Structure 1
Amino acid sequence: MTTPIISAEELSSLLADNPLVLDCRFDLMAPDAGRQQYLESHIPGARYLHLNEDLSGTVVPGKTGRHPLPDRHDFARLMGSLGLTPDRPVVAYDDKGGGIAARAWWLIKDLGHDAVAVLDGGYDAWLEIGGRTEWGPVMAEPAEPYPLAPAGRLGTRDRAQTEQLRKDPSCTLVDSRTPERYRGEVEPIDPVAGHIPGAINLPWPDNLENGKFKSREALRERFAALQKEPQQNVFYCGSGVTACHNILAYYYAFDELPALYPGSWSEYLLAE
């Protein structure tokens, strides 16, 4: 795989090579719904990853945001238990335009595994091409814990760093949430509405057109006003999940990685 975005047709052909397929369907308002959907119907061979249980670490009240990053060693063991090896391609999908699958993509890439992609259009795109499905859990083919690359490979910023860089004109802080949440008009999840002072708004759904990623050219234009040095652009959202969608889109456009503030708005609020 040479691209972080893969079509349903490409995945259909890739299944012959036994990729590790990850079902990341999840609903913030109904946390068990995605797992049930998986058990009822999924892409052949897919394993299920739960946002709260697998793609996030332990929430510490008063200290972390809603979806802190999992410990890298724990995540490496988890991925090894699902059969991830350095030479095995990975494809993650969801039913949210990639909004959850992009978090899996980011975490797996952070391990040091570059052969990872998100299914363009998600499960709906798979069904649209008449892709085969199966039901029930899938037995894993366990491997050793994934051999970790050095930490910091993808670039993250903590709250203190974010507070400093928002005052630095050579950096751009990007809020990935929808415009109404950015403007503080609505806040369905966190206790306070609004955004980090100085942040601009690039809503993650705007990476998509009709449920699929826009062209590289369109995405380059979307991100054109950002800093030229990728790591001078720091993306956040509500809890460090959909910000990964913007990072994925940026990487798809430029083959370079901007930084992530994993704690995002839900962590930033704690010191307010």
Structure 2
Amino acid sequence: MEYVKNLDWLRVNLENKSVRIIDCRFDLQSPDKGEKWYEEGHIPSSVYFHLEKDLSNPVREHGGRHPLPDIEELVKKLENIGVDKDTIVIAYDNGEGAFAGRCWWLLNYIGHSNTYILDGGYKEWIKKGYPTTRETLTFSKSSFSPIIQSHMAATYQEISLQVQTKGQDKVLIDSREYKRYTGEMEPIDKKSGHIPGAENFVWTEGLKNGYFLSIDDQKERFSSLKPDKEYIVYCGSGITAIPNYISLKMAGFDKVKLYPGSFSDWISYEENEVETCLPSQLEK
């Protein structure tokens, strides 16, 4: 399966009417910055989807810091930009892979598998000297019927059961940076540490300079994992775990899920325990 499209492919297909481009640039520390970037310049024909306004629901007691959006509302937004079952959707960010990844995962989750991440992102697009514009286009409304791919998402109940039973057929993968995993540092959430039993594979290690690693490199990165098990990836709020989701799929792992609420959802239940540990206690 193909997960990304390269910059040259998009440059050639800018005028292709069956292609729809979604700008997903975002800054977690400054949520309005992505829209400003879009207004200052973007890939021609692209539309802007805001992580928190378009690709997430408002925060509630549970569900994490970036709850999944209302599916009906998401479908309406896709229909308003002309996405139907035959549309090729290209999502891009600044090369992090996480914000475009959120769009990629959501569209695949509602059954639109003809969706790809722009490998290298906007920064590499600019480096190549490819065209940008400040023009915003409108598109004819389409019709799209979602088919939810429930196998792509792990529920809170599934995570809770895994922690309680310490099941051997599933493995939790914490995608956050190592010091957040160990509990040495926590800049965002009210508790530090990780979901009990989780292993750590930092999401940024699956990319280099905004490009996803090759299939062979992804296989090497996950060489310690057994292909017959099911892997559930999470991060702080379900965003940066998605590059790990894609990297695992690229490496040939068939049974991969995202825990959308991630660590911020897990700790929203006061009774849930977290694990912390010193680096010396961990085997990497």
| TM-score of the superposed pair, with normalisation by structure 2 | 0.89
Q: Which residue identity does 2:45 align to in structure 1?
A: G
Match of 1:28 in 2: 28
Q: Distance in 2 between matches of 1:56 and 1:257?
A: 25
Q: Does 1:158 align with 2:155?
A: yes
Question: What displacement does 1:151 show?
Answer: 4.4
Q: Distance in 2 between matches of 1:257 and 1:106?
A: 15
Q: Which residue identity does 2:156 align to in structure 1?
A: R
Q: Distance in 2 between matches of 1:137 and 1:229?
A: 47
Among all aligned residue pairs of Structure 1 and Structure 2, give the percentage whose two residues are the same amino acid: 37
Q: Distance in 1 between matches of 2:69 and 2:226?
A: 29
Match of 1:237 in 2: 235
Greater mean alpha carbon deviation, residues 107-116 or residues 27-36: 107-116
Q: Which residue identity does 2:100 align to in structure 1?
A: A
Match of 2:281 in 1: none
Question: What displacement does 1:38 show?
Answer: 0.4
Q: Please give the secondary structure, in 2, of the residue aligned with 1:112.
A: coil
Moved over 4 A (4+): none
Q: Distance in 1 between matches of 2:148 and 2:100?
A: 23
Q: Distance in 1 between matches of 2:100 and 2:106?
A: 10
Q: Which residue identity does 1:246 align to in structure 2?
A: N
Question: What displacement does 1:136 show?
Answer: 4.1
* Alignment equivalent of 1:263, drawn from 261, 264, 272: 261
Q: What is the correspondence of 1:107-186 to structure 2 with a 5 Å cutoff?
A: 107-144=106-143, 146-152=144-150, 154-166=151-163, 167-186=166-185
Question: What displacement does 1:252 show?
Answer: 2.8
Q: Which residue identity does 1:259 align to in structure 2?
A: K
Q: Which residue identity does 2:267 align to in structure 1?
A: L
| TM-score of the superposed pair, with normalisation by structure 1 | 0.93
CA distances 1:1-29 after superposition (whole Å, capped 9, x unpaired): x6211111111112232311010000111
**Alignment size in residue pairs:** 267
Q: Distance in 2 between matches of 1:73 and 1:251?
A: 27
Q: Distance in 1 between matches of 2:262 and 2:23?
A: 24
Q: Which residue identity does 1:147 align to in structure 2?
A: S
Question: What displacement does 1:239 show?
Answer: 0.5
Question: What displacement does 1:114 show?
Answer: 1.3
Q: Please give the secondary structure, in 1, of the residue aligned with 2:53.
A: coil
Larger Rg: 2
Question: What displacement does 1:126 show?
Answer: 0.8
CA RMSD of aligned residues (A): 1.6
1:17–1:255 CA distance, 2 compared to 1 (3 A): farther
Q: What is the correspondence of 1:2-151 to structure 2 with a 5 Å cutoff?
A: 3-18=2-17, 19-60=19-60, 62-144=61-143, 146-151=144-149
Q: Please give the secondary structure, in 1, of the residue aligned with 2:268.
A: helix
Question: What displacement does 1:128 show?
Answer: 1.6
1:256–1:158 CA distance, 2 compared to 1 (3 A): same
Work out whether residues 95 and 209 of structure 2, in 8 Å CA contact, stay in contact via their aligned partners in 1.
no
Q: Which residue identity does 1:58 align to in structure 2?
A: P
Segments of 5+ residues of structure 2 without an aligned counterpart are 271-284
Q: Which residue identity does 1:63 align to in structure 2?
A: H
Work out whether residues 203 and 240 of structure 2, in 8 Å CA contact, stay in contact via their aligned partners in 1.
yes
Question: What displacement does 1:199 show?
Answer: 0.4
Q: Which residue identity does 1:55 align to in structure 2?
A: L
Q: Distance in 2 between matches of 1:138 and 1:39?
A: 12
Work out whether residues 44 and 135 of structure 2, in 8 Å CA contact, stay in contact via their aligned partners in 1.
no
1:9–1:3 CA distance, 2 compared to 1 (3 A): same
Segments of 5+ residues of structure 1 without an aligned counterpart are none
